[in-house]
Amino acid sequence: MNIPEDLKYTESDEWVRVEGDTATTGVTDYAQDQLSDIVYVEYVADVGGTLAKGEAHSAVESVKAAADVYMPVGGTIEAVNEALTESPELINSDPYGQAWLVKFKISDPSELDGLMDAAAYKKYCEEREH
């Protein structure tokens, strides 16, 4: 299970990479493994739109499941990853790199404090396996 040290994580299996006052987010390796082969990505947020923490910005579909992907913290969308419409399988092969979903400007940096670091997320994943 790949859990990069430099990222922060949510309980709904999103990661976020912070760069100053903007951030990039996607779904974790754990999530893509649970969903299995991703076949479709749908963006429900518009570029320029502002979403709160926990609001869905996109939905990913695999053969056997569908999941909404939520904002890890509130922000204004600056870009969505068009490449995923053509190649949704990138989420399975490169969830933290080429398969970023959305880039956004952070509304309230203090919300980042509520997220898990890599060690906490690793523990969280282990607890969930029964």
Binding region for another protein (CB under 8 A): 37, 39-40, 42, 44, 61-66, 68, 88-89, 130
Nearest approach, Cβ of residue 124 and another protein (Å): 19
Q: Is 20 left (phi over 0), alpha (psi -120 to 50) or beta?
A: left
36 or 117: CB nearest another protein: 36
DSSP 6: T
Which strands make up the sheet holding 50-51, listed edge to edge? 8-9, 14-19, 22-27, 102-106, 75-80, 50-51
Nearest approach, Cβ of residue 27 and another protein (Å): 15
Distance CA(29)–CA(112), nearest Å, equals 20
45 or 101: CB nearest another protein: 45
DSSP 81: -
Nearest approach, Cβ of residue 64 and another protein (Å): 7
Nearest approach, Cβ of residue 47 and another protein (Å): 15
5 or 130: CB nearest another protein: 130
